[in-house]
Structure 1
Amino acid sequence: MPLNPSAPPSQEPPPAPASRRSVSHAPLLADEVREALAANRPVVALESTIIAHGLPRPRNLQVGRELEELVRKAGAVPATVAVLDGRAHVGLDGAQLERVAGDPGVRKLGHRDLAPALALGATGATTVSATAFLAALAGLRVFATGGLGGVHRAWTETQDESADLRLLARTGITVVCAGVKSILDVPATLQRLETLGVGVLGYGTQWFPGFYLSSSGEPVDWTVRTPQEVAAVMRAREELGGPPAALIVANPVPGDEQLDPAVHDRVLADALSACRRRGITGQAVTPFLLEFLMRETAGASLEANLAAVRGNVRLAARIAVAATR
C-alpha cells in the first residue's frame, strides 16, 4: 500500500537534494599514472606536506619538481598526492604542484582528515598516513617519504603516538624512509611497529636510521642490499597473504650528509627542555622541535632532511622498477 494514497501509483520520488547526491570520492589518477598502472609500469607515490608545509617558498616548489624528476630518471612515474577542492589526486600536473607549493591556505591532512576534506571541498597536502592510504587505494605499491611519525617521548605521560603507525598496520604498501624522526622515542616506535605487524628492513645497514642521522643506535632484524631483494620480500609477503600491513625500507642518510651527531644531540636536548618549559604538548610538539632544530643548526638539519628525502626517492624508484619486473 503506498504511503501517500492520494499520489498516483507511477509517481517518481523527488530528487535528493544536491548535498545528499552521491559523489565519487575515489582518488583521481593523473593520466600518466593511470596509464603506467594499466601497463604494469613502475609508479612511486610522493607526499605533498613537505612541499606545502616543510620548506620555505620558493624552494619548496623547486624541491617538489626535483623529487619528481629523480623518480623519472630512475625509470618510474612520480605520483605526488594531494587533495584539491575536495578531490583526492594521485599525480599532479605542473599547475597543481605550483598551487600546493604557493597557496598559504593549503591545509595539512592526515588520514583522519580525508573524509571531511573531501566532503567539504577543502584543499590540503597529505601527510604520511594520508598519502599511504590514498596511494594504496589507487593501486600503487611503493611510497617515498622523509621520516615516519612514531611514539613520542614521555609516552607514558601523554600517550602521544603518530597516526602513521596504525594506518601503516593496515595498509599494504612499501614505504621507503630514513627511519622515524629523531625527536621521537625510537626504541618504543620499533616495539610498536613489531606489535602492529609492520615489517622493517634496513637497507644496506644493520642499524635503524635516525632521520637526520645515519643511525639511531637501534638494530634492525633484517638487512637487504639491493632493490631486487626488497622486491623479493614484497612478492613473498603478497604470496603469503594475510592481513595487509606496510613494509618499511629504512634507508639511512649518507654519513657525509647527516647532521653532525654531537650537534644533533646537544640541540635536541635544548629543544626538549624548551618544549617542557613552555608547556607545549600534543600536535604542537613536532613542529616546534623541528623548527627549533632548523634554527639552532643554522639550517643544517633541513639540509640533512633533504638529503635523506632525495636518497629515499631514488631508492623507491629503483624498488618500483624491480618490483614490476
Structure 2
Amino acid sequence: MDDFSISLRPEVAAALQAGQPVVALESTIVSHGLPRPDNLKVAQEIEQTVRDAGAVPATIGMVGGRLIVGLDEVQLTRLATADGVAKLSVRDLAVAAVAGSDGATTVAATAAVAAGVGIGVFATGGLGGVHRAAAESFDESADLTALSHTPITVICAGVKSILDIGATLERLETLGVPVVGYGTRRFPGFYLSDSGHDLDWSVQTPDEVAQIMRARRTHAVSRAGLIVANPLPADEQLDPDLHDRVLAEGLAGLAAEGITGKAVTPYLLAHFHSATGGRSLAVNVRIILRNARLAAEVAVASARS
C-alpha cells in the first residue's frame, strides 16, 4: 500500500513539537512566480529572512508525489530548476501524489497543508482573487474559498493588482475572512502601496496580530483565515503610472491571445517583468522579503502569547 503521508522536515517537526515559531512559505513563487536563476536565490533569501527574525521556515511543496513541509536544499533546488513542475492547488494534491509528480503549492494548497500540520502563520507575496470580467468568466482564485475554511494567518501585500480588487474584498467579506491592514487603513495592491480601497481595521505591531490570533482561538466562532495586508512603503512601490500602462497592455495581450484561467497570472507577471525592465521583479522580491520578516515576527509573538 502506498504511503501518502505528509513528510515534515525534522527541524520543522521539532519546532512544532516544542511550540516554537514556524512560518509556512509557498513554492509556486519558486517554480512559477520568479524567473530563473533568481527564483532559487530569492527562495533562499526568504528562508534566511525568516530565520533572522527568529522563526523556522517551512517551504511546502511536492517532490516525487510526496508532500513535504520544509523542503531541504536539494528539494528546493529541484523545484526551482526542473522543467514540468506542476502548479498545485488543493484540488490537485491527491491526484499529483498518486501520479508521483513534482509540484509547487499555491497559496490555497500551502495554507491548507500548513494549517493541517499545525502551522499558524504563512507568508506570501500577494493573494489570488476575483479576476477582471469574472461576471462573465466566473474566474476566481481558489485562494479565497480555501481561506474561508482554513484557520491560518496570512501575511501578504494584498491581492495582485492585475485582479478586480474591489470584487475580491467583497468576496472575502461574504466568505467571512477578516482583513486587517498593517500600519494602514488602505488595502494594498501588491505592486502598489494603495489599491484605492478602505479597510475597517488596522494593527500596528506583530503583538497586536498575535493577540487577534489568540482571541480568534478563544472565541472559536470562525474557521476562516486571517489576512494581514502589509503594504510596501510608497517610495518602494512600482511607479503607479508605469503600473497602469503596463497593466493595460497586459490585459490587451490576454484578450488578443485568448488566455484564460490559471494561465492569466503567470502571463501578466511575465509581461510586467519584461515591460518594466525588471523593476516589477525587484518590487516583487521586496514584497515577499518584507512579508517573510513580518510573518516571522508575528509567529514569534504568537509563540510567546
Q: List runs of 5+ in structure 2 lacking aligned partners.
A: none
Partner of 2:135: 156
Deviation of 1:304 after TM superposition, in Å, equals 0.8
Residues 302-321 of structure 1 correspond to what in structure 2 (within 5 A)? 302-321=281-300
Bigger shift: residues 180-189 or 98-107:
98-107
Partner of 2:106: 127
Partner of 1:11: none
CA distance in 1 between partners of 2:271 and 2:76 (Å): 28
Q: 1:236 aligns with which of 184, 194, 215?
A: 215
Q: 1:77 aligns with which of 45, 56, 60?
A: 56
Q: 1:294 aligns with which of 273, 278, 284?
A: 273
Q: 2:160 aligns with which of 165, 171, 181?
A: 181
- Compare relative contact order (CA 8 Å, sep 6+) and give the higher one, 1 or 2: 2
Residues 71-220 of structure 1 correspond to what in structure 2 (within 5 A)? 71-220=50-199
Bigger shift: residues 177-186 or 240-249:
240-249
Q: 2:126·2:160 contact (CA, 8 Å) conserved in 1?
A: yes
- Secondary structure of the 2:221 match is coil
CA distance in 1 between partners of 2:35 and 2:260 (Å): 24
Deviation of 1:288 after TM superposition, in Å, equals 1.8
Q: 2:21 aligns with which of 42, 47, 54?
A: 42
Deviation of 1:105 after TM superposition, in Å, equals 2.4
Deviation of 1:281 after TM superposition, in Å, equals 2.0
- What TM-score comes out, normalization by structure 2 length? 0.97
Deviation of 1:25 after TM superposition, in Å, equals 2.5
CA distance in 2 between partners of 1:149 and 1:280 (Å): 17
Partner of 1:13: none
Q: 1:51 aligns with which of 22, 30, 34?
A: 30
Bigger shift: residues 251-260 or 270-279:
270-279
Bigger shift: residues 273-282 or 104-113:
273-282
Q: Once the two structures are superposed, what CA deviation does each residue of 1:209-228 show, in whole Å capped at 9, x if it has no partner?
A: 00001110101110000000
- Secondary structure of the 1:205 match is coil
CA distance in 2 between partners of 1:223 and 1:266 (Å): 31
Pairing 1:257–2:218 present: no
Deviation of 1:24 after TM superposition, in Å, equals 3.8
Deviation of 1:202 after TM superposition, in Å, equals 0.2
Q: Once the two structures are superposed, what CA deviation does each residue of 1:269-312 show, in whole Å capped at 9, x if it has no partner?
A: 12112222232222222222222211111111111111111110
- Secondary structure of the 1:324 match is helix
Q: What letter is aligned with 2:214?
A: R
- Secondary structure of the 2:33 match is coil
Q: What letter is aligned with 1:320?
A: A
Partner of 1:17: none
What percentage of aligned pairs have identical amino acids? 60
CA distance in 1 between partners of 2:119 and 2:169 (Å): 25
Pairing 1:281–2:260 present: yes
Residues 14-53 of structure 1 correspond to what in structure 2 (within 5 A)? 21=1, 23-53=2-32
Bigger shift: residues 274-283 or 305-314:
274-283
Partner of 1:3: none
CA distance in 2 between partners of 1:26 and 1:264 (Å): 43
Deviation of 1:246 after TM superposition, in Å, equals 0.4
- What TM-score comes out, normalization by structure 1 length? 0.91
CA distance in 1 between partners of 2:42 and 2:150 (Å): 27
Give the structure with the larger helix fraction.
Answer: 2
Q: 2:124·2:288 contact (CA, 8 Å) conserved in 1?
A: yes
CA distance in 2 between partners of 1:280 and 1:94 (Å): 34
Q: List runs of 5+ in structure 1 lacking aligned partners.
A: 1-20
CA distance in 2 between partners of 1:234 and 1:258 (Å): 29
CA distance in 1 between partners of 2:84 and 2:258 (Å): 27
Q: How many residues align?
A: 304
Partner of 1:65: 44
Q: What letter is aligned with 1:87?
A: R
User: Which structure: larger Rg?
Assistant: 1
RMSD: 1.0
- Secondary structure of the 1:53 match is helix
